Amino acid sequence: MVINRLTKKFSGGNGVEDLHLSINDGEFISLLGPSGCGKTTTLRLLAGFSQPDSGEILVDGKCLSSPATLVPPERRRMSMIFQSYAVWPHMTVFDNVAFGLKVRRVARAQISERVTRLLELVRLAEKADHYPSELSGGQQQRVALARALVVDPEILLLDEPLSNLDANLREEMRFEIRRLHDQMGTTTIYVTHDRLEAMAMSDRIAVMRGGRLEQVGEPKEVFNQPRTRFVASFISRPNCVEGVLVAGARVDCGGTVLDAEPAAGVSPASGSRVIVLIPPRSIVLHSSGTGGAAVTGAFLEGEVLREAYLGDSTEYLVRIRGVSEPLRAIVQADHDLREGSAVRVSINQSECRLIPYGGS
């Protein structure tokens, strides 16, 4: 599939502008971004529920959407799953999954074979005669998945399908959806605002902001090599410290000089404003009495402003002398630093990256 310079504008916003993205056959790609960034609009354009103002959508070289062309949804060989499960309460699990095949007038024997196979794939074979009211939320979502896949779509579209599930079920369904994708090989386009969902399931992630693509790449690439402050803040949530590049990879951050490697594809000029991305787990905290021999790298003096126990780790907010914004540090839970404590801080600067200053 090729999305070529796709634009759709609405008076209230939430549209897309000049969107270009190529999606490989059999790929699992997530459209990730905050509410209102245009990801659901993109999915509706792909499904044929909306017509673009400009640009086009091509599948196997055939134009499905453009300002002059709109192939209807039922002729696109796509299936779409929405936030709500949209399973019919008066039908059994078997009949819910079989519905699309019956509409296509598939032979009864084939329907029975394909529905049985899909129910086994989604691990609901024993629930075939049950009604949706007798199922959990996760089981209902698996019914919706089976119903979408039983018609053998070329492309599967999912619009935040896990948003109505509790945290444990969401985690379980992430792996279930990915398992089904690996078994069936269906090209999958998944819309979410949850970075963990996108990271756990995707071959690639397309980060969107204000109707445009900010960055597209594999999860590790987007996480470790963000190209903009927005992508960094949305995906990996590092500390973003502003400064001026003084020489090589050295950045003056208001009197404190930090070293940071430029992110991939970034080559800011000396004297330019930049952002240093400091991962919270790259920060090491020591009580002010700790001897220097135990610490690698230069010390910075700091004060603990806040602590939050997270179970296997503790998050601290630390004010550093010479750095304008407090830094967030995540360390092992055996640290015992209290609010107001003076600390010495070292940073593993090999994990820091610098990107051009791009505002917020």
Select the more confidently predicted residue: 68 or 11. Answer: 68
What percentage of residues in the chain have a pLDDT greater than 90? 56
CA 30 to chain centre: 6
Q: What percent of the chain has pLDDT over 70?
A: 96
Calculate the average pLDDT of the chain: 89
Query: How many CA within 13 A on the CB side of residue 84?
Result: 4
Nearest to 329 by CA among 280, 288, 285: 280
- Backbone phi, then psi, for 148, in 5-degree steps? -70, -35
- Using left for φ > 0, alpha for ψ between -120 and 50, and beta otherwise, residue 13 falls in left
Give 348 or 289, the one with higher predicted confidence. 348
Is the pLDDT confidence value at 79 over 80?
Answer: yes
The answer to whether the beta carbons of residues 236 and 219 sit under 8 Å apart is no
Domain 2-224 and domain 238-356 have a common topology = no
What is the spatial distance between Cα 216 and Cα 359, in angstroms, rounded to a whole number? 20
DSSP 8-state class, residue 131? -
Domain boundaries along the sequence of the chain: 2-224, 238-356
Residue 213's nearest CA partner among 30, 24, 9, 45 is: 30
Residue 290 has pLDDT above 70, yes or no: no
User: Could you confirm whether domain 2-224 is CATH 3.30.930.10?
Assistant: no
Residue 48's pLDDT is 96
In whole angstroms, give the CA distance from residue 183 to residue 216. Answer: 25
Residue 312's φ and ψ, nearest 5 degrees, are -90, 0
Long-range Cβ pairs for the range 252-257 (8 Å, 24+): 253/322, 253/323, 253/324, 254/322, 254/323, 254/324, 255/322, 256/300, 256/320, 256/321, 256/322, 256/323
207, 234 in Cβ contact below 8 A?
A: yes
Question: For residue 253, what are the β-bridge partners?
Answer: 256
Q: Give the chain's length.
A: 360
Q: Which CATH architecture has domain 238-356?
A: Beta Barrel (2.40)
Q: 3-state SS of 215-231?
A: EEECHHHHHHCCCCHHH
What is the reported pLDDT for 359?
A: 54
Q: Is the per-residue pLDDT at 208 higher than 80?
A: yes
- Residue-wise pLDDT for 227-245, tens only, equals 899 999 999 899 998 889 9
What is the band of 311 on the pLDDT scale with cuts at 50, 70, 90? confident
Distance CA 103, CA 80 (A): 16
For residue 113, pLDDT over 80 is answered with: yes
pTM for the model: 0.88
